[in-house]
Structure 1
Amino acid sequence: MSDPASVLVLGDIALRDAAALLAAHGLELVAVDDGAPIPGSYWGAPEAGIIGSRVYARGDTPVHSLLHEACHLIVLPPERRALVHTDATDSVPEEDATCYLQIVLADALPGVGRPRLMADMDAWGYSFRLGSTRAWFERDAEDARAWLAARGLPTG
């Protein structure tokens, strides 16, 4: 897959499943009307946005973006999460952990799963030194797994 237009979007999955996954991590999914600006979106629509413990997304928001932005909040301690508006990353290790966790959490969304999410990340243009998301996840993400494990976050 190499066409960004072919990635799964929020409208392709059950909104309640995505909301339940985020709620399990103390986050609220806020559905944004089609065509409306997405609050807290770093890259702009259709990318998801984050403000505090809320993740904003529209029906055309890619699932990988929804998970990525949610994972930015999940990896933060509550005191830092409360201060987030649009940009949550303060380090490369944190960004790597976010990418890793979004792949892990994809299995919790019916109709998504790791293989599809990794293909969508590649199609969207995520860049890893081994050339693909799967190669990075399987062979080069020890540091991300260790970062997550040290904080008691899911790694498998």
Structure 2
Amino acid sequence: MPLRHSVYLGEAKVAVTPLSNRLRFAGTMEFGGSDATIDAHRLRGIAQSAHAYLPDFAPEPQPQSQSQSQSQGWTGLRPMTPDGLPVIGPLPGKDNVLVASGHSMLGVTLAPVTADIIAAEISGGRQRAETAHTARPFSPQRFGSRRGRTRADG
């Protein structure tokens, strides 16, 4: 299936991304622990959605062994934060560490503004001052110790 760019199958909630000579189908997000077990029912649902939207697409059969294969289902964890906002900016107490994480499912969408904030931090000076207001809600400092803060501090 020759796709030149990613597409989103909105009703099925499945993203299709061309990767070299293959397609990656991604969908279903589950909130929970760190269990990386693949739910076969959800995997079948993604494959069925792919076929419903792209009738000429024929997925390769799943391998029977447990060894890794390019056509095998895969699952991974997404970095999320307690307040749902990404963490972008300098790590408190570490002057040489910048954080850009916790974007949930919006990493690609938020990449440009995240890059602007990180570039401003690296450049410093006027550029940093210009992005300070935008960057403030995403600061890693918001998760710091609440001891010693007054009500006015947050």
TM-score of the alignment, normalized to the shorter chain, above 0.5: no
Larger strand share, 1 or 2: 2
TM-score range, shorter chain: under 0.3
Larger helix share, 1 or 2: 1
Larger radius of gyration: 2
